[in-house]
Amino acid sequence: MSLLQVQGLEARHGLLSAVRGVDLEIAEGEKLALVGANGAGKTTLLRTLAGIHPVAAGRIVFDGVDITEMSAHQRCAAGIALVPEGRRLFPVMTVEENLLVARSAGRGGAWQLETVYEAFPQLKEKSNALASHLSGGQQQATAIARALMTNPRVLLLDEVSLGLSPIAVQGVYDSLRTLLETHTTIVLVEQDLQRTLDVADRIVCLLEGEIVAEGAAAEMTREQVMGYYFGNRQPATPQATLA
């Protein structure tokens, strides 16, 4: 049984349909990547799964329970956490205060301050620094660590590397390595296609709010994935492993 099921999901921005008829099943422990050009509906889909954006039609089922009408707070308490594009930290709070806010989800588990600082050692020495005084990479690490403090079963990561220098991106992914080795289910939106392919088990390609292709990362070529960015709707034929 899938941990997270999306059935006929639709989400809109006013009269604009941003997500259209999406059907998707995600297994527990799976690392799923959503890829597509800007405006393909990736961020809207993540926000809708997290309960931040309203569902226009369809349903979302989490661990056998219909959560379509649940608020974002209720979904977080159930085990779904979003690391949003732009990080959305509390700028006048310290790193540690930002992390402790996540305890309000009320979920116990392995991710506590000590284990988070072990996974993101660069944050421990900055624990008393204001979030607004951090570098972009440190802010992104704090946003991910804050989500982990809710001990999620599903972690939604939106544009981890957006706006960061290559060195900062490498630092964030080095810290993410510990998380990727756990059984946490991850849904990733990432502009860096190579990093996406390196960490994902399965690729789902979105175009104009619809799924146009999906398959195991090892069975789709880079050329196929890029083709879907530009509107190729022909079924993918599994080929060589992506390099």
pLDDT, one tens digit per residue, over 30-76 is 999 999 988 999 999 999 999 999 999 999 999 999 999 999 999 99
Residue 171 pLDDT level (bands cut at 50, 70, 90): confident
Q: Contact, 155 vs 186, CB < 8 A?
A: yes
Instruction: Mention every residue, 6+ apart, whose C-beta is less than 8 A from residue 212.
Output: 205, 206, 228, 232, 233
- Note the pLDDT of residue 76: 94
Instruction: Compute the distance between CA of residue 50 and CA of residue 71 in angstroms, rounded to an integer.
Output: 8
Is this prediction's pTM over 0.75?
yes
Residue 231 or 188, more confident:
188
Q: How far apart are the first and last CA of the chain?
A: 31
Residue 99 or 175, more confident:
99
Task: Tell me which residue of 40, 53, 48, 43 sits closest to 6, measured CA to CA.
Answer: 48
Instruction: Mention every residue, 6+ apart, whose C-beta is less than 8 A from residue 47.
Output: 11, 53, 82, 84
How crowded is residue 28: how many other Cβ atoms within 10 Å of its Cβ? 14
Query: Which of 61-75, 103-117, 167-181 ranks highest by mean pLDDT?
Result: 61-75
Task: Tell me which residue of 230, 216, 204 sits closest to 19, measured CA to CA.
Answer: 204
Strands of the chain (E only): list them: 4-13, 16-26, 31-35, 57-62, 65-66, 80-83, 154-158, 185-189, 202-207, 210-216
Residue 185 or 177, more confident:
185
Place of tokens 């996540």: 102
Q: Looking at the chain, how many residues does it have? A: 243
pLDDT above 60 for 237: no
SS3 130: strand
- Interval 113-122 mean pLDDT: 90
φ, ψ for residue 80 (rounded to 5)?
Answer: -115, 120
Q: Contact, 96 vs 128, CB < 8 A?
A: yes
Domain ranges of the chain: 4-229
Look at the domain 4-229 and name its fold: Rossmann fold (3.40.50)
Report the C-alpha dihedral over residues 128, 131, 132, 136, rounded to 10 degrees: 120
